[in-house]
A and B are shown apart, each in its own frame.
Chain A
């Protein structure tokens, strides 16, 4: 009976330029011990200058490579059918000035939008009216209401995103993290379809 090799492709890996992509980088492999070492160290792909920064390796490529060393193996692919390799050109270091710029952009933008919102819904008038309803007195600036309101505004956002700086209320991921995750997944899906040479056949392909 033919020996079976189980292969589970990883979703996404990172590699540097001019590095060899081994089978063990691309996939988890289960096979007989003797075969295992040989398989895992097998070079499937070599990243060269000509590659773009996203490479998709299809599982058929791995099957081909394994069959080229041993015809009799039975290969079972479990899980995803391809792996996305992200080529890291140089160590990504987020520049501090750019970061500060973005930070200030968000800060000022956020401050101005909330002011616009308050003006838009005539919140000052509403606060004055509310102050009058509760206390029976009229004031121009009901700060006793407005300062807690302002602090609550920030607190509400933090609660929604489930973060108190580094500390969380519970173990669940925050909606923001889920959002980033689904965005990444949509990107991956796109890349799988559009960068995978195996899954597309065009008229002018040779």
Chain B
């Protein structure tokens, strides 16, 4: 019995460590935190940002495993939704950048000077696709 529990504990911890490390590696590749510190000129606070990500991940895990119920006003969801959206939007933007799609595309079609307008196509596409998904597409 004790051995069973220990083995399960060990497997759980191992699983968590790999997923956590993977998540951090994923964030590092996209460079979202450096980008945010660069925009807000708060490079000295980068360690607090690291902790914020770690705490967020742990809280999220806790919420989804234990499913507590808070019965608060749903307006807090507006703020959470916006924050979540910005975060995923930044990852999506970083992904297109990592993959080097844009410089190539703009160069191929000879539109280096209209980069901004092309980028807006991506942005509006994301907003439209997301709204469409939630309001009509999702069952």
Contacts and interface: CB of A to CB of B under 8 A. Distances in A.
B72 A153 contact: no
Contacts of B90: 156-157, 159-160
B36 to A, nearest CB: 8
Interface string B27-55: 00000100110110100000000000000
Contact of B35 (A102, A115, A147, A175): A175
Interface in B75-115: 75-94, 97, 100, 102-107, 109-115
Contact of B71 (A129, A135, A146): A135
A166 B87 CA distance: 22
Contacts of B72: 134-135
B129 A136 contact: no
B15 interface: no
Contacts of B109: 94, 98-99, 102
A154 to B, nearest CB: 4
B11 interface: no
Chain B interface secondary structure, helix, strand, loop or mixed?
helix
Contact of B106 (A149, A175, A180): A180
B119 interface: yes
Contacts of A172: 38
B78 A148 contact: yes
Interface residues of B, number: 73
Given A110-B129, A149-B81, A156 B87 contact: yes
A102 B70 contact: no
A180 B103 CA distance: 5
Interface of B: 32, 35-36, 38-39, 41, 63-64, 67-94, 97, 100, 102-107, 109-135, 137-138
Interface of A: 92, 94, 98-99, 102-104, 106-115, 118, 124, 126, 129-136, 141-163, 165-166, 169-170, 172, 175-177, 179-180, 183-184
21 contacts: A102-B105, A103-B118, A104-B121, A106-B118, A107-B124, A110-B121, A115-B137, A133-B68, A141-B135, A145-B80, A147-B131, A149-B84, A150-B130, A157-B89, A157-B90, A157-B92, A157-B119, A160-B90, A160-B94, A175-B35, A183-B104
